[in-house]
Copies of this chain bind each other. A is one copy, B any other.
Amino acid sequence: MKLTLGEVAKHVDGEVVGESDTTISGVSEIQNASPGTITFLGNPLYSKYLKDTKADAVFVDEASILNGKSGIIVSNPQLAMAKTLTLFSNKKLKDPYIDSKAVLAKNVRIGKAVTIEAGAVIKDGVIIGDKCKIGANTVIGENTTLGKSCLLSPNISIHDNCTIGNNVIVHSNTSIGCDGFGYVTENDFHEKIPQEGIVIIEDNVEIGSNCAIDRATIGSTVIGEMTKIDNLVHIAHNVKIGKGCLLTAGFAIAGSSEIGNYCTFAGQVGVAPHLKVGDRSIVASKSGITKSLKGGKVYAGFPAREIKDHNKRQALINQIGRLRKKLDMLIKDQTKH
**A interface with B by C-beta (< 8 Å):** 27-29, 32, 43, 45, 76, 78-79, 81-82, 85-86, 88-91, 99, 101, 103, 117-119, 121, 123, 135-137, 139, 141, 153-157, 159-160, 169, 171-175, 178-179, 181-184, 186, 188-194, 196, 206, 208-212, 214, 217-219, 226, 228, 230-232, 234, 236, 238, 244, 246, 248-250, 252, 254, 262, 266-268, 270, 272, 274, 285-286, 288, 290, 302, 313, 316-321, 323-324, 326-327, 330-331, 333-334
> What B residues does A285 contact at CB under 8 A?
270, 272, 288, 290
Q: Is the CB of A181 within 8 A of B208?
A: yes
> What B residues does A228 contact at CB under 8 A?
181, 183, 190
Can you list 18 A-B contacts with CB-CB less than 8 angstroms, sorted by A residue number? Answer: A28-B219, A45-B274, A79-B191, A82-B184, A85-B194, A117-B121, A137-B155, A139-B155, A173-B175, A173-B210, A175-B209, A179-B206, A189-B244, A190-B226, A230-B236, A248-B254, A317-B320, A323-B323
Bound CA span A250–B231, Å: 12
Bound CA span A238–B31, Å: 12
Contacts A252-B267, A317-B320, A333-B334 known; list 18 others, CB within 8 Å: A28-B218, A76-B186, A79-B184, A79-B186, A82-B184, A85-B217, A89-B196, A91-B160, A91-B196, A103-B119, A119-B139, A121-B137, A153-B159, A175-B209, A181-B208, A181-B249, A232-B234, A267-B270
Number of copies: 3
Q: Is the CB of B234 within 8 A of A234?
A: no
Given A175-B171, A190-B226, A250-B270 in contact, is the A184-B78 Cβ separation under 8 Å? Answer: yes
What is the chain B residue whose CB lies nearest that of A77? B184
Bound CA span A79–B182, Å: 11
> What B residues does A219 contact at CB under 8 A?
28-29, 32
